[in-house]
Structure 1
Amino acid sequence: TYVHIQLAPGTLIADFTANSTSIPVGGTVDFTDQSYGNPIAWEWTFEGGNPATSSEQNPAGIQYSEPDSYFVSLEIFTDEDTSIITKENYINVNVYYCMGDTSCTTCQGMFFDSGGDGANYSDDEDYTMVFYPDNSEYKLKCNFTMFDVEWENNCDYDWLKIYNGESISAPLIGKYCGTNSPGTIIASNDLGALTFEFHSDGAVNEPGWVAEISCDTGVGINENQEYSFVNIFPNPVKSNFIHLESNQVIDNVKIFNSLGKIVYTNSFRNNKIQINTNNFRTGIYFISVKTGNEILHNKLQVIR
């Protein structure tokens, strides 16, 4: 069954597309006007972009220099009407890391084999790469979303080893090959570091891997455990406030976005508090509540 909808000739509806919505730091995006109604003027706003605004119909080469998720807004005009559309979290700017002999300090980014995004790794590679968290209180987390390394029963041809620490002398977490993905790995050592050692032999190479680098702040650990000393409501959040009630004094609250960045922090000395979430965009957040010697970690969903 097909439903044919015909808009009135004078209807003005703003819309647009981008040639890419996920780019590395320093990457550029080209935008294409897809509006209906024959607009005669355009006003673009690019959060985090350079330039930040444009009056062109199809602006190209908008550059993003900082990792984050950004909105894009387009307002269109005729002599008699106007229409606007805003796409939240539309452009995702990621830090990319490729396997090599180096060390990195970060809590966000994409981690690839030496071939990067879209190419295989090469033959005869031997690399060791160390990741440290950018906050001494965090633990490095690596989530493999794709893994494909040459298979051999004992992983003697091509392999990836992951160590719980800052060198290959640290405890071995695992040795991986084929499509046996490491899954999600979280460091548990004092430094919060993970070390990756990769070897490929002289023949046959595969696509390698794609992984998301982030930092674990304790959120998600024992997530199913029931904590009775703090009540957080409403959750999901559809209003402009969340409320926390505890049978102990709440000392500190931190809220992290999905990239691991702190978007709210404050200290208290009260059993009941209220937090304004008016500036929080739709998405998943993580809340950390400290009461005495205990810390509650939980997910917080904001719906606008």
Structure 2
Amino acid sequence: MIFVFFRSFLIFTLLKRLLLIVTLLTAFQLCSFAQQKPASGLANPPGKSVLFYPNPAYVVINFELGPKTDQVRSLLIFNFMGKKVYETKSASPKITVNLENFYRGIYIFQVRDINGNILESGKFQVVK
């Protein structure tokens, strides 16, 4: 009787340890998977013609417009609630936006042509 109890207790203890090990390994794998592709700081995926940096931004953010600069009419920036917080009507190939009056958070930008059609859009983060 004591042997059966001891054997059951031993099996239960081993299963608890095995469960702990599996849980720790799973957590470790999830953490390492999340860090496999770190942010590069430049948000310019292939096929995009607008380069914006730095991301996340602190004081200013720069937008460099690609080869379709002649089509660009305006740059608009919206906060995450959809409110327009910045607009410039410039055909300059490089636009620098001062973030002094921007709150910390995620912002959406749109580059539009003369007819108001969206040529490109993206998002960036302001950290202060």
Report the TM range for the smaller structure's normalisation.
0.5 to 0.7
Deviations 1:160-191 (A, max 9, x none): xxxxxxxxxxxxxxxxxxxxxxxxxxxxxxxx
Task: Report the counterpart of residue 244 of structure 1 in structure 2.
Answer: 63
The structure 2 residue matched to 1:230, chosen from 50, 55, 70, is 50
Matches within 5 A, 1:143-292: 226-238=46-58, 240-246=59-65, 247-249=67-69, 250-291=72-113
Q: Aligned-pair distance for 1:228?
A: 2.4
How far 1:227 sits from its partner (Å)? 3.9
Could you say what the CA RMSD is over the residues aligned between the two structures, in angstroms?
A: 2.0
Aligned pair 1:296/2:120, yes or no?
yes
Contact 1:248 1:271 in 2 (8 A): no
- For 2:120 and 2:54, locate their aligned partners in 1 and report how far apart those are by CA, in whole Å: 16
1:185-214 deviations in Å (ceiling 9; x for gaps)? xxxxxxxxxxxxxxxxxxxxxxxxxxxxxx
CA deviations 1:49-83 (Å, max 9, x no partner) are: xxxxxxxxxxxxxxxxxxxxxxxxxxxxxxxxxxx
Task: Give the structure with the higher percent helix.
Answer: 2
Q: Distance in 1 between matches of 2:113 and 2:46?
A: 15
* Aligned equivalents of 2:101, 2:47: Cα separation in 1: 27
How far did 1:283 drift?
A: 0.5
Q: Give me the whole-angstrom Cα distance separating, in 2, the residues matched to 1:283 and 1:226.
A: 25
Deviation at 1:296, TM superposition (A): 1.1
Deviation at 1:261, TM superposition (A): 0.6
Q: Distance in 2 between matches of 1:295 and 1:252?
A: 10
Cα displacement (A) at 1:282: 0.7
Structure 1 289/281 Cα, relative in aligned 2: closer, same or farther at 3 Å? same
TM-aligned CA distance change 1:227 to 1:267, over 3 Å: farther
Alpha-carbon offset, residue 248 of structure 1: 2.3
Superposition misfits of 4+ residues, deviation over 4 angstroms: 291-294
Whole-Å separation in 2 of the counterparts to 1:290 and 1:227 = 17
Measured at CA, do residues 294 and 288 of structure 1 come closer, stay the same or move farther in structure 2, by a change above 3 Å? closer
Q: Percent identity?
A: 33
Contact 2:110 2:118 in 1 (8 A): no
Cα distance change on mapping 1:259 and 1:294 into 2, 3 Å? closer
Instruction: Please list every run of 5 or more consecutive structure 2 residues that lacks an aligned counterpart in the other structure.
Output: 1-44
SS in 2 for 1:268: coil
Compared CA separation, residues 256 and 243, structure 1 to 2 (3 A): same
| Structure 1 residues 227 and 254: alpha-carbon distance in aligned structure 2, compared to 1, 3 A threshold | farther
| Greater fraction strand | 1
| Map of 1:174 onto structure 2 | none
